Structure formats: C-alpha cells, structure tokens
Amino acid sequence: MIIKGFSFSAVAAGIKYPDRLDLGLIYSDEPAVTAGVFTTNQVKAAPVLIDIDRLRQGRSQAILVNSGCANACTGRNGMNDALTSGRLAAEELGIGEEMVLLSSTGVIGMPLNLEAFRAHMKPLVNGLGPDNFERVARAIMTTDTVAKTVYRSEVIGGKEVGFMGMAKGAGMIMPNMATMLCFIVTDARISYFELNQALKAGVAESFNRITIDGDTSTNDMVLVMANGAAGNDWIDDVSRDDYTAFENVLDSMLKELAMKVVRDGEGATKCVTIRVCGAKENVEAEIMARTIATSSLVKTAFFGEDANWGRIIAAMGRSGVRFNPEHVDIAFGDVLLVRNGVGLGPDAEQAATEVLRGDTFTVCIDLKDGNGCEEVITCDFSIDYVKINADYRT
C-alpha cells in the first residue's frame, strides 16, 4: 500500500548491534498536521521532551527514530545529542529542524551513539521511498519478535484516504502509555483539534487498556501525521460524519496494533481479556480489571493453565473497589467457575482449564452492582519473560 506524499527509509547504523536495522525515517513531502500522546512517567527521555515542545505548533514533516538506545536519563549531553540528531536529519532533508520529531527505544541510561547518526544520515535520506514502511517497522524493534503494522483505506469526504500504522512493544508495557512506540501516517486532510481529539480518544481505548508487566517506560509515544494529500474535504467538525469515519478508522488501527503488542509480549504464550461488568461505575470496573490484569500471581496461573480463581478474587479485593464478594460470578470463556462468590466444583474447574489451554480467551467478572463495564487486555507471565529481562542489557 502506498499513501500519497509519504516516504520511508531504514538503515543498519550500528547504534548497538552491527548489521541490524536500527535507524528509521518517516517523511512527508509537505508539512503534516501532527498530534501526539506521550508517556505519563515523570522521567521522560530527551526525545519525548523535545517532541512535546515541538508539537505545540501542531505540525511536523519527519520522524527520526532509532532502536538500540533510549537516550533517557542521559542528562544535558543526551538532550544535546538528540537535538544534534534531529539537526542532521533536517539539514539532509532541507527542512527546519523544528519540523523533525525524534523517537528512541532501547536501554535507559546509555549515551546515544551520535557517530552512527552522522555516518548514516545521508544514506538514510537517500533511501527514502514509498515502499519502505515495513523496513522502518523492523528498525524500531527491540525484544519484539515480529514487526507490527496495519493498513487501512476508507472513502472520507468523497476521496479515498489511506492509513498506515506501525507499533513497537513487547515489554515494559503498562498504561498510561508504556515502552511502546506507535506511528500512524495518513493522507487525510484534517484540522489539528479534530486529529488530537481522535488520537486521545483512540489511545484511551487501546494502548491505555493493555498491560504486559505493569512497568511504565520513559520513552513511549503515539504520533499521527496527516498531510492532506488525499484532497478530501477538511475534517474540521467533530459532529460531522467525516470526522466519525476518520475516528472509526483510527480507533480500529490503534486497537489492532495494541493487540499485536500484547500478543508479542516478552515470553507471552497467551493473550487474555479481563472484562469486569456490574460495577457501580465504568471507572471502578476499569480499576478492578487493571488490578487483575497486572497481578503476577494471576498471570503465572494463566501460564500454568491453572484455573485458580482464588487469585482473581483476591486481586479484586485489593483493587480498592468496594463490592460484595457474595455476589460475584467469574467465568473463563463460556465456563462459569464461580457463582455468587462460591466455586462450582472440580467439573467446572476442569472445563475452565480447557479454556486456559487456548492462546486467547476472556475472563468475565460480574459484580452485580451496577452498569459499569470495562476491559483490560493482558498476557501471561512465562519463564521466558524472566530470562529475557534478566540479561536484557547483555
């Protein structure tokens, strides 16, 4: 798929490892309306701080992204290195440096290999082409096992509008926002307010509804660039059908990419949806679902295919949400395991165990106390998760 006005490039710059794609570039022929959502961690990497400042103008023309080094907690030198890398890209592209957004992922606390940027910026820019989107998606991988991309096309405002999205993430994943990068480009013509509104709403229901290990990173971001090359009527009113159409496409892309991140969780073997209904309010349902989804004991039980519902109800009890344990129903898939707070016996547990043997399933909790209902997507904790993270820096 090719989207009008965008080109892409990736090279093996040797930022951390030789002969591995690790430096990517996304470029719009014209300045693009751009919105972003960033980590809520108080510790923010240099690229995040720079992008937050640059996006006050609501426009950009390029995203320069590297793997192999997070450039986080690197002090004034790290900030200067990030600014220099952007300046190198801007000079080679012939655009203002404030139009270049920066993104990094990798080990925290390590200095950026700026010489790799200097040596490879020219071939990176010279390699720009419309067919290199998948190469950039591979260049942003760290412990990911697969590149994560999605594509969409939709008629909006009487014109065919294209969308391309990529994400990176496998560990240090916990909303709000996490060690994940997501870049979406579209040739839609849309105003900044509407783009920002659609992005924030979409992230709230996608990347902010997933968890792998409960850790929030210093570098995560979601950026959306819209260069208007499709020539559709301006999307400048959230009450209009064209805005709804745009928002629906963006939502579906964000949710699909978020699901791909969970499925590729470090060492993960199962993708699990925790759905809590019957709460007094939606916010209470979300709090409880998130508590269950981040419980190490619950996640290891999923890996062991153990229908240990006691761990689930214990996590519910420490969530801070008030409920009556004697009203609780718990089901694994379509197997009811607990009714009114009491287990239904060995046969139900055996049937639930069969559900756990699948690689995708849903745990449904009914509190019977209201209309609040939310879900959070998680994965299991396996032995491989420990192995991957025990020697991540080596």
From 179, 186, 216, 218, the catalytic residue? 179
Give the number of other CB atoms < 10 A from CB of residue 80: 14
State whether residue 268 is helix, strand or coil.
coil
Strand order in the sheet with 329-332: 342-343, 335-339, 329-332, 360-366, 271-279, 372-379
Binding-site members for substrate are 142, 168, 179, 266, 389, 394
- The DSSP code sequence of 158-222 is TEEEEEEEEEE-SSS--SSS-S-EEEEEE---B-HHHHHHHHHHHHHTTGGGB-SSS---SS-EE
Binding-site members are 142, 168, 179, 266, 389, 394
* Alpha-carbon torsion angle 251, 172, 212, 285, nearest 10: -70
What burial class does residue 12 get, using C-beta atoms within 10 Å of its C-beta: 0-12 exposed, 13-18 middle, 19+ buried?
Answer: middle
- The CA–CA distances, whole Å, from 189 to 55, 160, 228, 231, 262 equal 18, 11, 4, 6, 31
- Asked about 143 being catalytic, the answer comes back as no
Give catalytic residue positions.
Answer: 179
